[in-house]
Structure 1
C-alpha cells in the first residue's frame, strides 16, 4: 500500500508595512534635518562609496550653514563685533535651541536678542546689540503710513491743541539699553574700534524708525524719552506739557514739549491720523 503523503501547509503570509507616502517621506526628512530624528534613515540606502548616515549628514550641515548665514546677514555688525569664530559658535547654539518655524527665513533670527540675553546674562551688550539690529530690520519691513506734517498741526485751532493725541509711525521702536550697545554699534558702523563695554546706571533710550525708505536710530534724552512714552500711552499734548513741567523748569515746559513734538514730526516718527480718546 503506497505511503500516505501529508498535504503541504500553505506558506505563512508575511505582513509588510505599507511603503510611506511621498508626503510622509517629506515630513520624516524634514524632521530628521531640523530635529535630529533619524527614523527616515530606515528608508534610505547606502551607495557604493559611503553609507546613508554620511550622505544625510550633508543635508543637515547645509541646513545649519544656511541658517547661520541668515543670522549673519541679519546681524552683520554683531558678527563684526564678535568675530567669526564666536559668532558661529553662538549661531550654532541658536540654531539648535530655536529651530526655524516659519517658511520665510526673514523671521528666523527674530528671537536672537532674547536668546543672547538668556544665555549670556553677564554680557547684556550682546542681546541689546542684537535687539538694535532687529529693530532696524523691522523698521525697514514695517508697514507704511503717511507721516504727520507740521501743516496738519497748523490746521488745528489753538484751543484744541491741549487735547491732541499722537500715534507712532508703524516703523518706530524705542529701546531702553542697560549697556553702551548703541555706542558699540555706532563705532562699528563707522568702521571704528568699538569702545570698552559699559553698563548704564540708568537705561539709555534710543529710538529706531524708518525715515522715508531708510532705517534710522538716535539717542533720546531722558526728558524726551519720558514724553514719548507718555504720548504713546495716549496722554494728550496738554498733559505732556504738565509732565515736562514736573521733569524740569516749568517756565519753559511748553516750549520744550513743542520742540520735542516738532522734532518727531520733522523726523517722521508720527503717523498722520491722531488717536481718539
Structure 2
C-alpha cells in the first residue's frame, strides 16, 4: 500500500526538505564520481605497473628468459603472472604429448616388415591398430579437459595476485586464442592418425587373410588372385596417403608452436 506523506505547510519545513534532498543529490553525485575516479585510477595504476614490468622484460626473446627476469624482480606481479602462465602452458603441452603417446598401446613400430610376420603376429598387429584407432578417436575430450584445467589455474592465480581486469582480460584472450588454435590442430591430427590406423589395419587384414597362400618375391607380395592384388593396392595406397597427412600435420604443429611462441612474447613484452 502506497502512503502519501503530506508536504509540510511551514515554509521553513519545506526549505529543510529541499535542502535535505539537495544534500542527498550532492552525496550521490560525489559517490558516483568517486567510484568512477577510483576505477579509472585503478586502470591507470595497472597500465603503469604493466609498463614497468615490460621495461624489465625488454630483450626477452625466449619464454625461458621470463623466469630469469622474475628472479631479478621477484615482487613484480605481472612477471609472476606471465611466468606462471608460461609454466602452465608448458605443463599442458607435456601432458598432451604424454596422452598422444598413449594412443598407441603398445607402440606401433615404424617400418614393420609385414612379409616377415606370421598369421598370429599379423592378427596381433591388427588388434593393436584397432585399439590405437579407438584411442585416437577418444583423445579430444581428454585434451580439452587439460586445456580447461590450465585456463582455470591461470585465472585463479591471476585473481590471487589481484591482477587488474584489463591485464586479466588480455591474458585470457591470449590463452583462449592459443587453446582454440591447438584444439583445431590436435583434432585434425587425431582424425588423421585414426584414419592411418584404420587404413593400415585394412592392409594388414588383406595380408592376414591370405596367409599361407601368397609368396614374397624381392620383398613384394605375390597373391594368387587379381581381386586380392586390387584390395592390397587400394589399402596400401590409403595407408600411404594417411601417413603423409599425419606427417604434414606434425609439421603444421611445429609452425603453430613457433607462431604461438612469438604471439606470447609479443604479449609479454608489449611489442
Q: Does the TM-score normalized on the shorter chain lie above 0.5?
A: no
Larger of the two Rg values belongs to structure: 2
**Under a length normalisation based on structure 1, what TM-score does the superposition of the two structures give?**
0.22
Higher relative contact order (CA 8 A, sep 6+): 2
**Under a length normalisation based on structure 2, what TM-score does the superposition of the two structures give?**
0.23
Please identify which structure carries the higher strand content. Answer: 1
